[in-house]
Copies of this chain bind each other. A is one copy, B any other.
Amino acid sequence: MLGNFSFCNPTKLYFGDQALQNLGDELDRYGKNVVLIYGGGSIKINGIYDEVTAILREKGKAVAEISGVMPNPTVDKLYEGVAIARAHHADFLLAVGGGSVCDYAKAVSVSVHCDEDPWDKYYLRFEEPTCETLPVGCVLTMVGTGSEMNAGAVITNPHAHLKIGHVFADEKIMPKFAILNPNYTLTLPHRQMAAGIYDIFNHICEQYFSGEDDNTSDDLSEGLMRSVIDAGRAANRDPQNYEARSNLMWSATWALNTLLSRGKSTDWMVHMIGQSVGAYTNATHGMTLSAVSLPYYRYILPYGVKKFARFAVRVWDVDPADKSDEQIAGEGLARMESWMKELGLAMNLRELGATEDMIDGIADGTILLTGGYKTLSRDEVVLILKECL
């Protein structure tokens, strides 16, 4: 049964190989002082930086830059960006990059006019902004996080070994617009592409593996998972396949723009464990998720066997005839494992540089949520992490 909820997502999306043509008109809606935010500089190699800055010049914008936003943006980088945006009297933040760059721009947005320490306020106390926030726009160059159409922002504090995501409640934190050109994702290294594909898939799993009832969200989730599986296979076989990349880009947005979770409970423990792994290893987000997923799902399977059996039949085409729910569910996870290996995902934590002596610390940094089929204790997290090594 769908419970009480609200839904509002005003982000304007421009999709397709001509999407950047809309950037100029969107920029017209905002003030003169723009902060351009990007990552390690790949946009200077593939030409996107030149295209975007030409549009900014044409529109007469005064541009400051925050470059070098890292895959797991740190709290120190956040402080640096806030200082740049303040010095520039920023009216608008333009993120050009993947989910980390979008997340980072939103974190700067809520921090520029904030009198308190943003790490303490937003990531330790999970408060909402009480100050003015800056509008954010995104030009997406990597696919996976869904950050282009939601109000989430993950920040890492490497000193404290903490990687924490805050999904802000107010839709005004969502990007005002996002430019989604699948061509921008064609040059991504295979490992980044695969990690992004699994990030999308796991976002859907996190919202699906919870609750006993019959609801529209689960039916939508199954359709979206089938799309990610098929498009992921096609992109893996041929990384230049535009159709597959366009389906992945669109699926990623809808996998985490708040639609799938409306009215139902959710799990999110793979992300909680994976984020803690990320804080210790600085490994790619999607790979931390793939490395912990199967041990986690096999551990909780007995507590949600009906849903895992439904998943096997509806998503992985397992034939249920003459089998127990446990058998069906197990076959579903086996097919999921084959698909993950086909994509070349990390299947254990050692591949990511984690070692046995980190396990206690990773377990300490894992936030224990209650929405899934089994509420884990810290000891159970340790058990699962040992299975992941």
Contacts and interface: CB of A to CB of B under 8 A. Distances in A.
B13 A8 contact: yes
A268 to B, nearest CB: 21
Contacts of A217: 250
A320 to B, nearest CB: 11
A6 B2 contact: no
B1 A246 contact: yes
Nearest to A241: B1
B2 A12 contact: no
Interface string A225-260: 011001100100000001100110011001000010
Contacts of A39: none
B223 A2 contact: no
Interface residues of A, number: 47
A15 B10 contact: no
A219 B214 contact: no
Interface in A1-52: 1-19, 22
Given A214-B230, A216-B224, A242 B1 contact: yes
A77 to B, nearest CB: 31
Which residue among A224, A234, A250 has the maximum number of chain B CB atoms within 10 Å of its CB? A250
Q: Lowest 6 A-B CB distances belong to which pairs?
A: A223-B223, A4-B16, A10-B10, A219-B227, A8-B12, A219-B223
Given A3-B16, A216-B224, A220-B224, 17 more contacts: A2-B16, A2-B243, A2-B246, A4-B17, A5-B16, A6-B12, A9-B9, A214-B231, A214-B234, A214-B243, A214-B247, A216-B251, A216-B254, A217-B250, A219-B227, A220-B223, A222-B223
